[in-house]
């Protein structure tokens, strides 16, 4: 089985995929991206991913230069050619090849570079997480806003490396005010006094699509939820913790700073509820929407 990529509309085998050395994505991390799950040809939460990609680009003063229908068709063609069944799809948009290796946007006059990576889907759903609260803080909203899913993930790369060097499998970063933000590539929920609580967007986090879907599902199910700032002590006192993302769904935290968590039973029930929800949503919402987009791209 071979991994494929699509570079500006041309499908090639991933190891042979090339982006020019003067591409600003390579030189400066001047890019945005999305990681999307595709089940049997249908991306989950396509509208949410496309709209976050556009918002991320706007956050970097980039207006996307290829239409949504064109990208939907490229994804469809690449996923079909790769034939993995369920696929991991990463859409990366860089500000393109610069006229010179100079950060000044005056040198960015080329079209954007659009890369789509397609690999077999490997979900980490349900996999217990050893979490560590790391020293490295999440980048401040006034710097590179964490709400922008940019190609510059070095802060998270190093935070994860810090957690790994201490025997954990993922990290929690605090913000510059000492409030809890999120994990390296996932959002975080804590069960406190019977309510599921997650840091607000204002804490400086990515607006996770899974996080939003879980908040809505919990509310619909009549469970108590809140978006509220959390402290390190709140995490320590939590009854249960879990991480959530496109690739994790819901993953229970089994250890926090080396200490075992007492329980993950509410997390396990929520996880079942969420899996069911995704299955329903895929047939009732995601499949017709994707069909409509592809029909519109002919
Ligand atoms: N990451 N927070 C960060 C920093 C993330 O990178 C991600 C997703 C999330 C969860 O967002 P969502 O539920 O929309 O996947 C939160 C993807 C999966 C990645 O970069 O691999």
> Where do the structural domains in the chain lie, given as residue ranges?
4-120, 129-279
Element (H, E) at 261: none
Does 254 score more than 90 pLDDT?
Answer: yes
**What are the angstrom distances between the C-alpha of 70 and each of 27, 132, 173, 293?**
27, 41, 37, 9
Q: Residue 134 class from Cβ within 10 Å (0-12 exposed, 13-18 middle, 19+ buried)? A: buried
pLDDT tens digits, residue range 163-183?
999 999 999 999 999 999 999
Cα 75 to ligand 1 centre (Å): 19
Spell out which residues line ligand 1, taking CB within 6 angstroms. 35, 156, 182, 185-187, 206, 208-211, 245-247
Tell me what pLDDT residue 297 has.
79
Does 266 score more than 80 pLDDT?
Answer: yes
CA 239 to chain centre: 26
Which range, of 10-19, 124-133, 151-160, 246-255, averages the lowest pLDDT?
124-133
Distance separating alpha carbons of residues 7 and 29, to the nearest angstrom: 17
Q: Which atom of ligand 1 is nearest to the CA of 184?
A: 4
Cα 211 to ligand 1 centre (Å): 10
Tell me what pLDDT residue 2 has.
81
Contact 43, 293 (CB under 8 A): no
Distance separating alpha carbons of residues 187 and 240, to the nearest angstrom: 14
Mean pLDDT of 123-148: 94
% of the chain at pLDDT higher than 90: 96
Tell me what pLDDT residue 126 has.
83
Mean pLDDT of 238-245: 98
CA 51 to chain centre: 13
* Shared fold status for 4-120 and 129-279: no
Does 298 score more than 90 pLDDT?
Answer: no
Which residue from 145, 150, 208 is spatially nearest to 175, judged by alpha carbons?
A: 145
Cα 164 to ligand 1 centre (Å): 18
Cα 168 to ligand 1 centre (Å): 19
Architecture of domain 129-279: Alpha-Beta Barrel (3.20)
Q: Which atom of ligand 1 is nearest to the CA of 245?
A: 13
Does 1 score more than 80 pLDDT?
Answer: no
pTM of the model: 0.97
pLDDT tens digits, residue range 61-80?
999 999 999 999 999 999 99
Mean pLDDT, the chain, whole residue set: 97
Pick the CATH number of 4-120 from 3.90.1580.10, 3.30.470.10, 3.30.360.10, 3.30.565.10: 3.30.470.10
pLDDT band at 263 (very low <50, low <70, confident <90, very high): confident
Q: Whose CA is nearest to atom 4 of ligand 1?
A: 185
């Amino acid at each position: 089985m071979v991994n494929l990529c699509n570079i500006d509309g041309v499908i090639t085998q991933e190891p042979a995929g090339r982006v020019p050395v003067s591409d600003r994505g390579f030189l400066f991390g001047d890019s945005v991206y999305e990681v999307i799950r595709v089940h049997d040809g249908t991306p989950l939460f396509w509208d949410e991913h496309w709209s976050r990609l556009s918002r991320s680009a706007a956050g970097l003063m980039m207006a996307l230069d290829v239409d949504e229908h064109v990208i939907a068709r490229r994804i469809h063609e690449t996923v079909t050619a790769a034939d993995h069944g369920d696929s991991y799809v990463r859409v990366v948009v860089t500000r393109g090849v610069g006229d010179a290796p100079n950060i000044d946007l005056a040198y960015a006059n080329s079209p954007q570079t659009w890369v789509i990576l397609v690999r077999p889907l490997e979900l980490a759903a349900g996999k217990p997480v050893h979490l560590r609260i790391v020293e490295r803080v999440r980048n401040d909203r006034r710097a590179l806003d964490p709400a922008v899913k940019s190609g510059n993930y070095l802060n998270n790369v190093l935070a994860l490396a810090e957690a790994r060097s201490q025997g954990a499998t993922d990290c929690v970063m605090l913000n510059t005010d000492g409030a809890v933000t999120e994990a390296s590539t996932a959002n975080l929920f804590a069960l406190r006094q019977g309510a599921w609580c997650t840091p607000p967007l204002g804490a400086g986090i990515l607006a996770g699509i899974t996080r939003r879907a879980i908040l809505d599902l919990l509310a619909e199910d009549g469970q108590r939820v809140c978006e509220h700032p959390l402290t390190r002590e709140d995490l320590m006192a939590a009854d249960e913790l879990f991480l959530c993302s496109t690739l994790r769904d819901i993953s229970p935290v089994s250890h926090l700073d080396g200490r075992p968590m007492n329980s993950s039973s509410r997390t396990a029930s929520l996880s079942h509820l969420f899996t069911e929800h995704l299955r329903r949503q895929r047939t009732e919402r995601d499949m017709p929407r994707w069909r409509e987009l592809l029909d519109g791209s002919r």
